[in-house]
């Protein structure tokens, strides 16, 4: 009997609350198990009767400060950390109920979501998991920024960043699905920002929920968080976390090696658009156990 990689969902519903980093509002989430071939969907329970929002590239309506999905006037914002958690833990099917437009920032990473899901349990389903199998490279560039994917038997993602700041500089890291190191190496990496940018955001009534409890904050030459960093290269690990969330909006896991250089939400989504247009560069289908 042929054995395929199988789809997965949550074993039970999970309730969690937190603050939206931009809205400053307290938001409540319910993560629900979902049937096979359902995918990841978001439901605005504060807007009864609105259509569920699929976590797919075609539903992206903004990438300026966070990844925002929308359909028929309803939006859900700052989804990237939760989506990275689903991707990192290989969750294919879930329904996320939320009572406001912004997913809570928690501690600025995917740590809380990851722990809650692992504590609740993950269950295999009967249907095979489908993959996007890369057959030849695809690349998108914007000046010195780039995203490229190469054929690879398993999923890998390499991120490189460079910031002209003494605490960051150049950093590079690779996440290898075969090593199954998401929880330990990636999920706990926090978002970061610069003091001058945060002050500007607040002038525009954004970043209302941001604090040293949910972000690494830097001034011109140091980190303001008293506890310091969780990893020496936490900055690039968080960029990789964000990228996992962005690329999960392809709707299927990739069999390939994605390499990003100084990329962000906007370029990641331009890459997805080009990737999906180049239909001769990939194929879809289930995959057997070797």
Task: Give yes or no: 28 in active site.
Answer: no
Q: Which residues pair with 124 in a beta bridge?
A: 8
Which range is least confidently modeled, 13-27, 96-110, 145-159, 238-252? 13-27
Catalytic residue among 22, 130, 265, 269: 265
As assigned by CATH, the class of the 131-286 domain is: alpha beta
Q: Residue 99 pLDDT more than 60?
A: yes
pLDDT at 64: 83
Q: pTM for the complete prediction?
A: 0.94
pLDDT at 290: 60
pLDDT at 156: 96
The pair phi, psi for residue 88, each rounded to 5°, is: -65, -35
Band (pLDDT 50/70/90 cuts) for residue 200 is low
- The answer to whether 81 is a known ligand-binding residue is yes
- The answer to whether 162 is a known ligand-binding residue is no
Question: HSE on the CB side for 213, CA within 13 Å?
Answer: 9
Please give the Cα distance from 70 to 53 (Å, whole number).
6
- Mean pLDDT of all residues in the chain? 93
3-state secondary structure of 122: strand
Q: Which residue has the higher pLDDT, 99 or 208?
A: 99
pLDDT at 211: 84
pLDDT single digits (tens) 205-223: 556 778 889 999 999 889 9
Band (pLDDT 50/70/90 cuts) for residue 248 is very high
Buried-exposed string 184-210: b where 16+ CB fall within 10 A, e elsewhere: ebbbbbbbbbbeeebeebeeeebbebb
Q: Residue 73 pLDDT more than 90?
A: no
pLDDT single digits (tens) 3-26: 889 999 999 999 999 999 888 899
- Would you kindly state where each structural domain of the chain is located, as residue ranges? 6-128, 131-286
Classify domain 6-128 by CATH architecture.
2-Layer Sandwich (3.30)
- First-residue to last-residue Cα distance in the chain: 13
pLDDT at 204: 56
> Count of CB atoms within 10 A of residue 277's CB?
9
């Amino acid at each position: 009997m042929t054995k395929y990689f199988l789809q997965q969902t949550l074993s039970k519903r999970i309730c969690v609350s937190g603050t939206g980093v931009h809205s400053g509002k307290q938001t409540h989430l319910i993560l629900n198990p979902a049937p096979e071939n359902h995918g990841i969907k978001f439901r605005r329970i504060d807007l009864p009767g609105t259509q569920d929002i699929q976590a797919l590239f075609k539903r992206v309506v903004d990438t300026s400060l966070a990844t925002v999905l929308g359909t028929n006037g309803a939006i859900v914002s700052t989804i990237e950390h939760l989506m990275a958690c689903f991707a990192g833990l290989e969750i294919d099917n879930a329904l996320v109920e939320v009572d406001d437009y912004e997913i809570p920032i928690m501690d600025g990473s995917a740590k809380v979501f990851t722990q809650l899901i692992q504590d609740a349990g993950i269950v295999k389903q009967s249907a095979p998991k489908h993959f996007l199998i890369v057959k030849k490279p695809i690349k998108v560039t914007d000046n010195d920024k780039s995203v490229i994917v190469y054929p690879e038997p398993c999923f890998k993602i390499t991120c490189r960043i460079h910031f002209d700041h003494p605490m960051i500089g150049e950093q590079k890291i690779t996440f290898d699905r075969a090593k199954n190191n998401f929880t330990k190496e990636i999920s706990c990496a926090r978002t970061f920002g610069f003091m001058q940018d945060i002050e500007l955001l607040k002038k525009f009534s954004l970043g209302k929920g941001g604090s040293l409890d949910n972000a690494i904050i830097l001034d011109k030459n140091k980190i303001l968080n008293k506890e310091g960093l969780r990893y020496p290269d936490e900055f690039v690990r968080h960029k990789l976390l964000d990228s996992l969330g962005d690329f999960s909006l392809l709707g299927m896991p990739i069999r390939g090696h994605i390499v990003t250089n100084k990329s962000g939400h906007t370029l990641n989504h331009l890459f997805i658009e080009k990737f999906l247009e180049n239909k001769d560069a990939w194929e879809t289908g289930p995959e057997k156990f070797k």
